[in-house]
Amino acid sequence: MLYCPYCRGMPGLKPCHNYCHNVMRGCLANQADLDAEWNLFIDAMLLVADRLEGPFNIEAVIEPVDIKISDAIMTMQDNSMQVSAKVFQGCGQPKQSGVGRSARGISDVFSGRFRPYTPEERPTTAAGTSLDRLRVVWRTMQHSVSLHSSSYFHHVICLVVF
């Protein structure tokens, strides 16, 4: 581009169109092979963008969901008598069972989930050591320190932990 007036700092001179076209064609010869594929890619991207602007736009679909759920709940509450009548018509009237509700104690409710454990089945730590066994180690360690017998302490620790 030695003869290009714009490149030489003379923007007032008009370049020769054919010369510039030939120079640019020579400079961009390798990239010219990509022109067809590039145009196909751009067309595909434009199609994707058009689809995302239409009914497949996730933001437009998700945005009103919370309002629609709220409206559905309010409509259900407003029309609860009609909805109940339709349910009873389709499914039949509910039968009254002779059993009524009774007060339950806390032990009745939680007896299955929070049962007391025997020492053998107490929960273990991630390392597999029973928590009760660690309590025994602490008591033994306090007692051992008062005896000042390191061999006795080591012996008791080995028996309890291992």
pLDDT average, residue stretch 113-120: 57
> Which of 14 and 157 is assigned the larger pLDDT?
14
Q: By the 8 A CB rule, do 152 and 141 touch?
A: no
**In three state form, how does the secondary structure of 35-91 look?**
HHHHHHHHHHHHHHHHHHHCCCCHHHHHCCHHHHHHHHHHHHHHCHHHHHHHHHHHH
- The amino acid that residue 55 corresponds to is P
pLDDT average, residue stretch 85-110: 75
Quick one: pLDDT band at residue 129, thresholds 50, 70, 90? very low
The overall average pLDDT reported for the chain is: 70
pLDDT for the residue 82: 92
If we measure between CA atoms, which residue out of 142, 141, 138, 139 comes closest to residue 155?
A: 141
- The amino acid that residue 6 corresponds to is Y
pLDDT average, residue stretch 32-58: 84
Residue ranges of the domains in the chain? 62-87, 129-162
Rounded (5°) CA angle 136-137-142: 100
- The amino acid that residue 87 corresponds to is V
pLDDT for the residue 79: 92
Q: Counting every residue, how long is the chain?
A: 162
Token readout for 52 is 């995302």
pLDDT average, residue stretch 46-68: 82
Instruction: Give the integer Cα–Cα distance in Å for 9 and 64.
Output: 58
> 129-142: string of b/e by CB count within 10 Å (b at 16+)?
ebeeeeeebeebee
The pLDDT of residue 78 is above 90: yes
Quick one: pLDDT band at residue 25, thresholds 50, 70, 90? confident
The pLDDT of residue 100 is above 80: no
Q: By the 8 A CB rule, do 140 and 157 touch?
A: yes
% of the chain beyond a pLDDT of 90? 7
